Chains A and B, each alone.
Chain A
Amino acid sequence: MLNLFGVTFRHGVHPPDSKGLTDHLPIRRMPFPKRIALPLRQHAGKPAKCLVKKGDRVERGDKIAEADGYVSVPIHASAAGTVAEIGWWPHPDGSMTETVIVDVEPHSPQIPRPRLVPDWHGLTPDQVRQEVQNGGVVGLGGAAFPTHVKLNPPKDLPIEWLLVNGAECEPYLTTDHRVMVEYPERVHFGIRIMMQCLGVKRAVIGVENNKPDAIAALERTRPTDLDVTVQGLQVKYPQGAEKMLIQVVTGREVPSGKLPMHVGAVVQNVGSIATIAEIFETGLPLIERVVTVTGPGVRKPSNLIVPVGAMLGDVLDFCGGLTDDAAEIVFGGPMMGSSQPDLRTPITKGVSGVTVLTAAEVKPKKTYPCIKCGHCLDACPVFLNPSALGLLAQAGRYQEMQDAYHLSDCMLCGSCSYVCPSNIPLSQMFALSKSGLRKQQASEAAKEKAKEGQAA
């Protein structure tokens, strides 16, 4: 669908992009804090298994927890120091989770142990995947899905496209933007390794048109021997959702309930790709990441390289602290991020930004009844009926939401909540409905089982 503003998907919303606070600021390195907190669960899948105990000395880059199974990745120490304790600690998802606390050595030069840099030329796909898993790489866009699993599609599904997600459609965030501007060669190197691993011939980097400098940098450094193109995309939320990006670039809709690989595509975030490149450049695992610290509630908005495990309070302090009217701290962007109550919460691998909103941006609390305006239907990028779903959610009719209105296809992008004039927290209700449905189904299954037991 070509138009004046570039290619895009149908529906979606237009929140103000608010990227002007940081999109021009070069990435700076944050100094090592006094303490870091490394949760064993920083990725989708099984948490890592701890390998250290209290009092152990760790060097920067040392493995402190190993992958537990295939859908899992190891955790590495992001600074040299001593394990102070292993215990429950606040996690970005709002829970308390098992975490290794490291007291960072104050005067250490923080030089990692010498390590072998793997030579990517001769590696088989399996070996590449192994290196990626050993490096602890996960999707840096937010979902933190282990990257090596994505690099291993089933043999019967041919992959035609590698889609590199540089859309960064979340307002405020400029993490991927700065990576593309400052490390375009690294992005292209990562693409080369991934293309070799996946055996694909075509790669497309999707970038929203509000990042012309990123598009220019990627064009300038584009390799001549590979079929890599840079595709400008219309600025619209959620352009960076996998399904939307695939539809725009390939023209194919991922079938309901299926994965990108079913239409021959693998989507990877630019940040994750740059991290893969780093593994094959320096041998260092994923121990630091780029984070945008931004929003009107931060005194000195910045793009930072932050050691994984640095705590929210230390990061904010480095950025000049909060303004007096700061009202809400969000990990990630304001559309899909999660608000944080505790300044001890660490920046984990999946945290792409810290957005601090003031009272002026925080959404109003007053809600009105649904007036059936249908704006949510015009916003939903996967063509659901949030209006009807919302009414059923209030009634607790989860099964009907699934059977008649495709609840499971909702990706919780928040577009419906954003446009709702009555301020109904639709996407929150759908998140609750999804877990409510799982519980209902589980209890139904248990009842069935009990009945069978009685019959027998």
Chain B
Amino acid sequence: MDTTRFELTAAPHIKGPDSTPRIMWSVVASLAPVVLAAVWYFGPSALLVIAAATLGCVLTERLFGPGGTLRDGSAAITGLLLGLTLPAGLPLWMAFVGGVFAIGFGKLLFGGLGQNIFNPALLGRAFLQAAFPEDLTTWPDVSGPWAALRGDNFALPLMGADPVATVTGATPLGLMKFEGVDTEWVRLLIGSTGGSLGETAAIVILLGGAYLALKKYLDWRIPVSIFVTVGVLAQVIHWVDPTKPDAVFMLLSGGLMLGAVYMATDMVTSPTTPRGAWVYGFGIGALVVLIRLWGGLPEGVMYSILLMNALVPFINRATQPRLFGTGKEAMV
């Protein structure tokens, strides 16, 4: 019998069903409803901005990344997530540049998939925020005709957007911080408020997150610990000083949902250890409350996550699992 056809591999010889592309594309699939919600509220502009950001990411990965990595789906996730953090009226070239930066500097410069320290989508957004602060904080209103563009999406690069084209509104966090106006929590939950594309529909994001958590494609400890930290801290502060927003408002407004469910849980940039996930989530939650209530910015989710990203190697180190047969469980 010819034996050369037999495989010679090391144990184990069988493999579970999960694969990295399958995880990544599942995340992409779970983002589809979030994108749809954005289109529902912001019309074609939403689709254009998200597409431009995604194109920037995918092209950069294709041109400068190791070959064949588009198929693993991770560049697509970065693009979608970046697009969802942007306002609907953003000029498309800016969204594209943000995508190029996110993949080029946020991921490939570190060595590609699995090597980056910071969440690439958030790094891309931080870059855009620093480069084009005005455009990034021009929030279109959700009212108005659905099919109309929500800003000067087609502005030429470096020419500046036409401010007249935008019917602007303020985000609930901005209203709260600078004008002291509260927003109904039902509107926050279904997302009919001003804000970034994916910041608005809390309920859709939660459903997507629940799906991923059930599939074990995200660590449920991270969003749960963020929500608990933000909720408890905000409520305690609200009791002490009623001018500060309460827990429900803090949880449902701004980028907290998208950040906690999709950004903070990025596998590459979050802790691998279960106890580390709790520490990391607590850190993000505490920083969010700190920045939102006492910082100069209305929103702090992005910087909170990026800051905690930087601490992940140390958190991992400090929260190694208890080895079997050590500690009080072991009989010596």
Say what secondary structure dominates the interface of chain A. Answer: loop
The answer to the question of A384 belonging to the interface, with a C-beta cut-off of 8 Å to chain B, is yes
Q: For this complex, into which size category does the number of interface residues on chain A fall?
A: 35 or more
The answer to the question of B168 belonging to the interface, with a C-beta cut-off of 8 Å to chain A, is no
Residues from chain A with a CB closer than 8 A to the CB of B329 are 253
Stretch with Cβ within 8 A of B (4 or more), from A57-65, A277-285, A340-348 = A340-348
The answer to the question of B18 belonging to the interface, with a C-beta cut-off of 8 Å to chain A, is yes
Bound together, the chains give a CA A425 to CA B8 distance in angstroms of: 13
Among B201-243, those with CB < 8 Å from A are: 216, 219
Q: Which chain A residue has the least Cβ–Cβ distance from B322?
A: A383
CB of A313, distance to nearest CB on chain B (Å): 7
Among B264-315, those with CB < 8 Å from A are: 267-274
Bound together, the chains give a CA A375 to CA B19 distance in angstroms of: 11
A/B pair count, beta carbons within 8 Å: 181
Complex partner residue of B18 from A15, A255, A375, A385, CB under 8 angstroms = A375
Complex partner residue of B22 from A13, A378, A421, CB under 8 angstroms = A421
Say what secondary structure dominates the interface of chain B. Answer: loop
Q: In the complex where A15-B14, A421-B18, A421-B23 touch, is A256 in contact with B323 (Cβ < 8 A)?
A: yes
Please give the number of chain B residues whose Cβ is less than 8 angstroms from any Cβ of chain A in the complex. Answer: 48
Complex partner residue of B13 from A258, A363, A387, CB under 8 angstroms = A363
Residues from chain A with a CB closer than 8 A to the CB of B273 are 374, 377, 385
The answer to the question of A417 belonging to the interface, with a C-beta cut-off of 8 Å to chain B, is yes
Stretch with Cβ within 8 A of A (4 or more), from B56-64, B112-120, B137-145 = B112-120
Complex partner residue of A372 from B1, B112, B268, CB under 8 angstroms = B268
The answer to the question of A427 belonging to the interface, with a C-beta cut-off of 8 Å to chain B, is yes
Find out whether the CB atom of B14 lies under 8 angstroms from the CB atom of A339. no
A361-377 near B? 1/0 per residue, CB < 8 Å:
11110001111111101
Bound together, the chains give a CA A258 to CA B270 distance in angstroms of: 34
The answer to the question of A338 belonging to the interface, with a C-beta cut-off of 8 Å to chain B, is yes
Residues from chain B with a CB closer than 8 A to the CB of A363 are 9, 12-15
Bound together, the chains give a CA A14 to CA B268 distance in angstroms of: 25
Find out whether the CB atom of B12 lies under 8 angstroms from the CB atom of A336. yes
Complex partner residue of A382 from B9, B268, B324, CB under 8 angstroms = B324
Among B1-23, those with CB < 8 Å from A are: 1, 3, 5-16, 18-23
Bound together, the chains give a CA A137 to CA B290 distance in angstroms of: 68
Complex partner residue of A341 from B8, B23, B114, B115, CB under 8 angstroms = B8
Among A27-61, those with CB < 8 Å from B are: none
CB of A92, distance to nearest CB on chain B (Å): 13
Residues from chain B with a CB closer than 8 A to the CB of A431 are 10
Bound together, the chains give a CA A374 to CA B316 distance in angstroms of: 11
Q: In the complex where A256-B323, A374-B267, A377-B273 touch, is A425 in contact with B6 (Cβ < 8 A)?
A: no
Bound together, the chains give a CA A204 to CA B108 distance in angstroms of: 56
Find out whether the CB atom of A252 lies under 8 angstroms from the CB atom of B11. no
Find out whether the CB atom of B11 lies under 8 angstroms from the CB atom of A341. no
5 tightest A-B contacts by CB? A369-B114, A414-B12, A428-B10, A382-B324, A363-B15
Q: List 11 A-B contacts (CB under 8 A).
A: A329-B6, A335-B12, A335-B13, A363-B12, A364-B19, A370-B114, A373-B272, A377-B272, A383-B321, A406-B323, A427-B10
A residues with a Cβ closer than 8 A to B are 13, 15, 171, 243, 247, 252-258, 262-263, 313, 322, 326-330, 334-343, 355, 357, 361-364, 368-375, 377-378, 380-385, 387-388, 405-406, 409, 412, 414, 417-419, 421-423, 425, 427-428, 431
B residues with a Cβ closer than 8 A to A are 1, 3, 5-16, 18-23, 72, 74, 112-115, 216, 219, 267-274, 316, 320-326, 329-332
